[in-house]
Amino acid sequence: MTPRATRPLIETLSDEDVNVKHAAATSLGQIGAHEAVPALVLALQQEPWLQYSAIHALAEIGASEASGALLPLLDDPRCSRGP
C-alpha cells in the first residue's frame, strides 16, 4: 500500500527551501516510501545539507539498491566523522 502523501512528498524534494526538502525526505523514510528511492538518491547528489536526511530515509526504507550512490560518500570529507 502506498500512502497518499508519497507522490506529493517526492515532488517536495524539488522545493526551493532546503528545510522543506529535509522534512520531505524525513517523512518519506518514516512512511517507508520505496518509490522515493530514485528521488532520494538524486537528493544525495544535490544538497550537502540534505544528505543526512536522505541517507537516513534510504536506511529506513531499506533501499539496498541505493548502495552504489552511498558508497562514494564514504570518501566525502563533508560526511566524515573525523579521526
Q: Mind listing the domains of the chain with CATH numbers?
A: 6-79 (1.25.10.10)
d(CA 41, CA 46): 9
d(CA 77, CA 30): 27
pTM attached to this predicted model? 0.82
DSSP 77: G
Burial profile 2-36: b = 16 or more Cβ within 10 angstroms, e = fewer: eeeebeebbebbeeeeeeebbebbbbbbebebeeb
- pLDDT tens, position by position, for the chain (83 residues)? 567 899 999 999 999 999 999 999 999 999 999 999 999 999 988 888 898 899 889 989 988 888 777 767 766 666 555 54
Q: Are 45 and 19 within 8 A, CB to CB?
A: no
